[in-house]
Amino acid sequence: MERIFMGEYDVIVVGAGHAGCEAALAAARMGKKTLMFSMNLEAVAMMPCNPSIGGTGKGHLVREIDALGGEMGLNIDKTFLQSKMLNTAKGPAVHSLRAQADKNRYHVEMKKTIEQTPNLDMRQGEVTDLIVEDGKVCGVETQTGTYFTAKAVILATGTFLAGKIFIGSSVFESGPNGLAPSNLLAENLKKHGMKLRRFKTGTPARCLGSSLDYSKMIEQKGDEKKVPFSFLNDEVGENKISCWLTYTNEETHKVIRANFHRSALFGGQIEGIGPRYCPSIEDKINRFADKERHQTFIEPEGLDTDEMYIQGMSSSLPEDVQVAFYKTIPGLENLRITRPAYAIEYDCIDPQDLKLNLENRHIENLFCAGQFNGSSGYEEAAAQGLMAGINAVLKISGKNPLVLGRNEAYIGVLIDDLVTKGTNEPYRIMTSRAEYRLVLRQDNADLRLTEKGYQVGLATEERYQRYLQKKENVAKEMTRMEEKSFAPSEVNSFLEAHGTSPVQGRISMAELLKRPQITYEDLAEIDDETRPDLSYHEVTQLEVQVKYEGYINKQLSQIERFKKLEDRKLSQDIDYSSIEGLRIEAAQKLNQIKPESMGQASRISGVSPADINVLLVYLEKKRRGK
């Protein structure tokens, strides 16, 4: 076939899911001529699985994407159906915002944003091969025989790469949501020396909302006070629709157990490894045989459709079994399925073949992001896409990469876990993975990251000025609250009215706010200068900083100790097999991953504290030798 040259770009992004969109937008907004490929333009920012953004840990990622100058937070604020803050009974470190999305509107608004972004072209077409010369990627080829050159390429193929669908004994090649898979690219990546492996995920059935009996379910309303995802928004619209909660029962489990042998999961057809924290319903019933019931949420897919998503009930069982077990669930007795549940298997890489800037170790200027890197979830994908886009631009501009530490962002935890520790299953972010989560809260993501986004040329001037204003407003009000105090006669009746003990001597406003029963808004009852003009984001920041000051300071001290290891940089030229005293396994792992710091080396599986001590001695000897 004749090869036809079609154009030259700075950055080419392969894939237009949540990773691809953030990567392409970041590269274009940083001033580089960018091209984003999608197998089908209807798949731009598609939600093939659950119709929501955020959730535990994931909400932190969305806030960080937003703080750096990404699009996901802004897009869900425009297109949400219902908003809810999770884990409010716990401390602020684990508060996580989650919003139900209007799937189609989310896609439409993101596509519109991409279409209107300068420097960014969008093209429907299948990329079938990379153009690699002298170990460096320099373009892509397409199925129609065209080729495009580029200084950097970002692979964000999601679950399309050699995608295969499983519904009972039916197995066929397909991407998610009935779209075509990408088979040629998978084969050609292997020819370029990339080691691919098989992962698996799945999605539940969709049904018509009009066929459900909501009187048998528990209504799940959104929060009365809606909190925006984006720091650029002080408020968002109204909740538009409810979700519903129901449960499986022994009859459900009986139907599924009787058909274990017909499940593709247990029948041996599926090779790929599935996500531990999002198992199929048959896997749940097999693994947790003692549980009498499992919850399932019925979630709307959009305002312009009657389709509902049956959350928590993904399956690879045949369609007749799906109908049978869904109908045993209260409220679903007469459901009419529009799309059956399925499992999907796809190719991805071992993320330990990447550097911390998400560049491939073996092919220069090739960056990788999203589910292709072995993660699961829209938010994890978007976070990686954003960082791949930023770092691709920095690399071809001859600048140092932006690598976020575990002490700086959940994005840093996500990427470090993937690249340093690797994963044997689709990786999902959780608050428990972050050792410094009291500092890495969703409310302060802009204070942690907007400066960095602005310095690399991604965060806008408007965002930067809002960040500076918030920082100043919070600091000024904090100082005023520490300096202003009250006599017992001025506050004791107020304290008793709010269910907290009176004081014997003078007390500052800051000390009053430390009490769990008192909010910043409450202080207006005794203080004429309490500022009603402070935004939700500023008030939240004030309250958290005051109420948790001691805990935060303790964690900041821990971070200072952690940074000593992170700041000890390691040369990429070290041959670890030549270091006397290192165990063979440690030397092999260190040579494979080539850690950038002592901190990263200490987190590699197979590298023990004793090995780290050997490395420290080695570095000290080299320093003295110089």
Q: What CATH number does the domain containing 330 carry? A: 2.40.30.260
pTM assigned to the model = 0.94
Asked whether the beta carbons of 480 and 512 are under 8 A apart, the reply is no
Q: Could you tell me if 55 and 189 lie in one domain?
A: yes
pLDDT at 453 over 70: yes
Asked whether the beta carbons of 582 and 614 are under 8 A apart, the reply is yes
Task: Please give the average per-residue pLDDT across 422-426, as a whole number.
Answer: 93
Alpha-carbon distances of 196 from 35, 117, 132, 272, rounded to whole Å:
25, 33, 18, 11
Residue 528: alpha-carbon gap to chain centroid:
42
Q: State residue 548's pLDDT score.
A: 92
Q: Could you tell me if 180 and 68 lie in one domain?
A: yes
Q: Could you tell me if 395 and 272 lie in one domain?
A: no
pLDDT tens digits for range 353-380: 999 999 999 999 999 999 999 999 999 9
Q: Identify the band that residue 37 occupies on the pLDDT scale cut at 50, 70 and 90.
A: very high
User: What is the edge-to-edge ordering of all strands in the sheet holding 307-311?
Assistant: 218-220, 243-247, 295-300, 307-311, 206-208, 337-339
Q: Could you tell me if 225 and 193 lie in one domain?
A: no
pLDDT tens digits for range 313-322: 999 999 999 9
Residue 446 in tokens: 């802009």
Q: Could you tell me if 341 and 403 lie in one domain?
A: no
Residue 596 belongs to a domain: yes
Residue 353 belongs to a domain: yes
Q: Could you tell me if 117 and 221 lie in one domain?
A: no
Buried b (16+ CB within 10 A) or exposed e, 239-259: beebbbebbbeeebbebbeeb
Domain that holds residue 609: 568-625
In terms of phi and psi (left: phi > 0; alpha: psi -120 to 50; beta: otherwise), the region of 385 is: alpha
Q: State residue 367's pLDDT score.
A: 98
In terms of phi and psi (left: phi > 0; alpha: psi -120 to 50; beta: otherwise), the region of 427 is: beta
pLDDT at 1 over 70: no
Instruction: Please name which of 338, 380, 378, 446 lies closest in space to residue 101, comparing C-alpha atoms.
Output: 378
pLDDT at 626 over 80: no
Q: Could you tell me if 212 and 251 lie in one domain?
A: yes
Residue 563 belongs to a domain: no
Domain CATH number, residue 486:
1.10.10.1800
Q: Could you tell me if 300 and 329 lie in one domain?
A: yes
Q: State residue 36's pLDDT score.
A: 98
Q: Could you tell me if 472 and 522 lie in one domain?
A: yes
Tally of structural domains, the chain: 4
Residue type, 592: Q
Residue 161 DSSP label: B
Q: Select from 424, 455, 486 the last residue of a domain.
A: 455
Q: Could you tell me if 28 and 131 lie in one domain?
A: yes
Would you tell me how many other CB atoms lie within 10 Å of the CB of residue 378? Answer: 29
Q: Select from 401, 433, 455 the last residue of a domain.
A: 455
Asked whether the beta carbons of 318 and 169 are under 8 A apart, the reply is yes
- The 3-state secondary structure of 51-83, one letter per residue: CEEECCCHHHHHHHHHHHCCCHHHHHHHHEEEE
pLDDT tens digits for range 576-617: 999 999 999 999 999 999 999 999 999 998 898 899 889 988
Q: Residues near 3 by Cβ (< 8 Å), separated by ≥ 6?
A: 141, 145, 146, 147
Q: Could you tell me if 13 and 36 lie in one domain?
A: yes
Q: Identify the band that residue 18 occupies on the pLDDT scale cut at 50, 70 and 90.
A: very high
Q: Select from 455, 474, 509 the last residue of a domain.
A: 455
Q: State residue 269's pLDDT score.
A: 76
